[in-house]
Amino acid sequence: MIAHRLLLTAAIVALTSPVVATAQTSANVVATDRGEVRGASADGVASWKGIPFAAAPVGALRWRAPQPAAAWKGVKDATAYSHDCMQVPFPSDAAPLGTQPAEDCLYANVWKPAAASASAKLPVIVWIYGGGFVNGGASPPTYSGANLAKQGVVFVSFNYRVGRFGTFALPPLTRQNADDGMLGNYGIMDQIAALKWVRANIASFGGDPANVMIIGESAGGMSVHMLNTSPLARGLFSKAFVMSGGNGQSDKRTLADVEQIGANFARSKNIDPAAPDALAKLRALSAEEVTDGLSMMQMFRPKAGPPTNTGPFVDGKVVVDLGGAYAANRFARVPTVIGATSADMGGKSGFMIAGAREASAAIAGKGVPVWEYRFSYVADSVGQPGAQHATDIPFFFDTTQVKYGDKTTAKDIAVGKTISGYVVNFAKTGNPNGSGLPSWPAYTATGDQLMDFGADGKAVAQKDPWGADIEAGKARLASAQASGHYTSITTPLGKMLDDPAAKAVLERQIPDVIKSEQIGMARGVTLEALQSYIPSLTDAKLKAIDADLAKVSMRP
């Protein structure tokens, strides 16, 4: 499942506290299609925060497609973020939320150069956050668009529903069909509604609605793939940027599967999902009761019993089968950048790194311009090798000083300037290359070239040095899937820990790992996915574990 591919342990992720800059308000009044908003200006950037792009999805609008926001009279203050969407914040989030989560959360934020006029028609960058589709929001300081705006673009971020608010289905909802087939994938619907708001309103902020780049990381990168293939998002953007967004393939869950998961949740609240008043009772639950403790942390330590939460699924209208759409040329066919970090989840042959290469080949193979990257740089203050999942964001956004504060070095800043320059160039022209930057060749399957933002801080274009390893890993994965045994590459750790025979193998081979107090938070990932974080999980050790596991009969 998508959610399982996004798991990271709290013990793995190293964080620093953000530094927040203070802005001075001024009379930056802009008219939107629902009313006027007043923003703020600071350091050459004008910003507007907390602009409603849809109605509050509460009460009868819980588990409905986003509805139009109500118009307002007078000038609405837009100088502070509104609530992030309802969730239990993840303690080890690489970008901690800046607001208190709430169910009323469908708001957008805009940054632009203060000197740009309303008629400037600047390129637009639209950010989609990650968080496993259960966490995340637009308010983290490292997600500020101010520094990119200084480079001559309009930057937009927005919130979308997560957890059981963002993906939920139940037979009564399906029978009601209140939104003409728009069922289940409410968080992705929010993303589409936000892009429609951009199309209708961004010109008033000096942006060009015909020149919009969408960019997302992790769950946000997967969302970019979903938007790139969704017929409902066609024409809402002209460029796509995928950061650690996987392999461009869909899970096999159906609406019926998600309805069953919704029914499981209803029963967990002592509500009969088949009762005539089931939906009314579920909508009467508080936001906290619907959240029910769900976060990335709970996904590491799932509750006993059947699953009660899921991520986006193929419904055929909002979200389509990604692999099928790319193979059949049924996608937006816009210039695309795709990449992952060097120590991303799953390792070289995993969903993120090998997945970026696979998605690049699939899209480039249809004649669409694609540029692939690998982010290998580690901030000087981190003190350990390997660029972990989500550590690239402050560099792409040029917010390294926000992320690392007084520990930020000149090299960190320089790397951020280089990478954000490519991002802005791509937003402006559909090509990341530009004056003063090393040439970044387009990806082809035969050339297999990418841009490596290296550990030494230099951007170097080269044939993928991990290409052979990735291909070998794919062959090993196929063999493991066909073996009928537990393996380090296919079996979640928790499944092996629950089988006494498999657990005995692990206790013999990696006793220190199994005895760790943090092991419960890694139940949803494979040993190979943990390899980047645990030095003792060498290739030789995983091979020895697999040899022992091959002697164990797998439980059904």
pLDDT at 534 over 90: no
Closest-CA residue to 47 (of 108, 100, 122, 95): 108
Backbone angles phi, psi at 93, to 5 degrees: -60, 135
Question: In this structure, are residues 163 and 312 in contact, taking their beta carbons and an 8 Å threshold?
Answer: no
Q: Which two tokens stand for residue 261?
A: 């998961």
Residue 442 pLDDT:
98
Cα separation, 173 vs 183, whole angstroms: 8
User: Which of 66-80, 223-237, 287-301 comes out lowest in average pLDDT?
Assistant: 287-301
Q: What is the pLDDT of residue 19?
A: 33
Over the range 493-523, which residues count as b (16 or more CB within 10 Å of their CB) and which as e? bbbbbebeebeebbeebbeebeeeeebebbb
pTM: 0.91
**For the segment 436-446, what is each residue's pLDDT rounded down to a tens digit?**
999 999 999 99
**CA 17 from chain center: how many Å?**
21
Stretch (H or E) spanning 262: helix 255-268
CA 21 to chain centre: 25
The two three-digit tokens of residue 237, written as one number: 């953007």
Cα(492)–Cα(495) distance, rounded to whole angstroms?
A: 6
The CA–CA distances, whole Å, from 358 to 219, 224, 238, 388, 444 equal: 17, 16, 22, 20, 11
* 65-117: pLDDT as tens digits: 999 999 999 999 999 999 999 999 987 778 899 999 999 999 999 999 999 99
Place of tokens 């060009």: 208
Each residue of 26-75: pLDDT tens digit?
469 999 999 999 999 999 999 999 999 999 999 999 999 999 999 999 99
28, 38 contact by CB (below 8 A): yes
The DSSP 8-state label assigned to residue 294 in this structure reads: -
Which residues touch 88 (CB under 8 Å, ≥6 apart)? Answer: 101, 135, 291, 293, 294, 295, 297, 298
User: What confidence score (pLDDT) does residue 302 get?
Assistant: 64
Express each pLDDT in 378-395 by its tens digit: 999 998 889 999 999 999
- Assign 208 to helix, strand or coil: strand
What would you report as the CA-atom Rg of the chain, rounded to the nearest whole angstrom? 23
Name residues whose C-beta falls within 8 Å of residue 312's C-beta, 6 or more positions apart in sequence: 2, 133, 166, 167, 185, 187, 188, 222, 223, 226, 319
